Chain A
Amino acid sequence: MNKKKLIAGIILFGSLWGFSETIIGSYINDYGMPSGAIMTGIFAIGFMMISRLLYKQRGMQIGMGLVAGTLRLFNPFVGCFICSAFAIMAEGLIFELLWYKLSLDLKELKPMSMKLSMGIISGYICFTGGFIVTQILTPIVSSAGFHIQNLIVFLPQILSRGLLAAIISGIALPTIFILKNIDISKIKDRVYYPTTATITIFCWVAVILNTIIMIS
C-alpha cells in the first residue's frame, strides 16, 4: 500500500469519525438516547472496521483515533468534549490491540459466528475501555484531581452500559463485511485524492462552522 494513500485514508476516516461524534452524536444526545453506546457501536467500530477491510494495514486505527479525537476538541458545546476526545483516542488504540493478532485478510472471520463475536468483543471492550480511560484522564487534567474510589464504585455502571455497545456492534460488524472485496489500491489517484480531500475538508469545515454558529 502506497504510504501517501494510507495517510489520506487515515485522515479521511478519522475525520468522518470525528464529524459523526460531533454532529450526529449531538443530535442523538439531544433526543436523550444512549449516545455513547450508539456512537461506539455504529460509528467508531464501523469506521475502524471499514478502514481495516479496505486498507488491510495495522496501525491505521490508532491514527484515525488521533484525528477523530482532535476534531472532537474543535466543538466544545456538545457533551464533555475533553472526555469524548480521550475516549475516541483510547478506542482507536484498543481496537488496534484487539485486532492485532488477526490476519490482515481476516480469513479467520469467515464464519458468521466469528464476525458476530468480534463485533461484540470490539464494541464492548472499546466502549468500556474508552469510558475507563476518560474517567481517569479527565479528572487528572482538571483541578479536582483523580480519585480511584470514584472509578471503582462506578465500574458496574460502565460494564452495564457496555452491553448495548456490544449488541449494536455485534450487528454492525457482520454488515460491514459486505465491503470486503473493494480494493482501494485499484482506485486511480486522480479519483482517490480529490475524493478523500473533499470529504475530509467537508467534515472539518462542518464541525468548525457548527462551533462558530453555536458561539454566535
Chain B
Amino acid sequence: MPMGKEKLIPFIAIAIIILGASANAYVYINQKDATCITINEQDYTINQLFSLTIPREFKELEFSGIALDALINKVGIAYPESKDYTIIGNDGYQKTVKWENLQNGLLTEDGMVVFSDLPKAFRVKNIVEIGVVLNE
C-alpha cells in the first residue's frame, strides 16, 4: 500500500534533518588546517609565498596580495599556460581556473584567492592547495 502524504512528508523531513546533521559532522571531521599551502606537491607558508614573488593590487575591488601567475612561475611549473589550476579551500570549496584567469588573480595575506575577471563565486578563502591539472 502506498504511503499517504500525511506519513510521507514528515518522513522526508526527518530524513532531511538526518542528512543535514550527518553532512555537518562529515564537514567538521574533514576540515583541513590552513597553515600551509600546497603547490605542486610542495608545502609553503603564506610568508614564504609572499617572499617569493611580486605584489598585485586590484584597486577597484580593494584587494592586494601577490600575483598568482608569477607565483606559479616561481614554484617551477613547466609550460604553465598549458595547464588548469584547482584552488582548494580548507572547507573543501574548490574552483578550477585557466592560466588566463591566474594572470588576473592574486593571493591575499589572509590566504584568499581573488580574480578580477571572474565572478565572486571564484573567490576561495583559507586556501590549502593549488593543484595543477593538465588542460584537456
Contacts and interface: CB of A to CB of B under 8 A. Distances in A.
Interface stretch (B16-24, B34-42, B50-58): B16-24
Interface string A149-175: 110011011011011001000100000
A80 interface: yes
B121 A134 contact: yes
Max chain B CB contacts within 10 Å: which of A101, A117, A134, A166? A117
Interface residues of B, number: 33
Contact of A138 (B6, B100, B121): B121
Interface in B76-133: 86, 91-98, 100-101, 117-122
The dominant DSSP class at the B interface is helix
Main secondary structure on A side of the interface with B: helix
Nearest to A163: B20
Nearest to B117: A143
Contacts of A163: 17, 20-21, 23-24
Contacts of B6: 108, 111, 114
Interface residues of A, number: 40
A160 B23 contact: yes
Contact of A142 (B20, B91, B122): B122
Contacts of B26: 156, 160
A79 B123 CA distance: 11
Contact of B13 (A111, A121, A134, A153): A121
A56 to B, nearest CB: 18
Interface of A: 79-83, 101-102, 108, 111, 113-114, 116-118, 120-121, 124-125, 134-135, 138-139, 141-145, 147, 149-150, 153-154, 156-157, 159-160, 162-163, 166, 170
Sorted from nearest, which 4 A-B pairs have the closest CB atoms? A163-B20, A80-B120, A117-B13, A159-B23
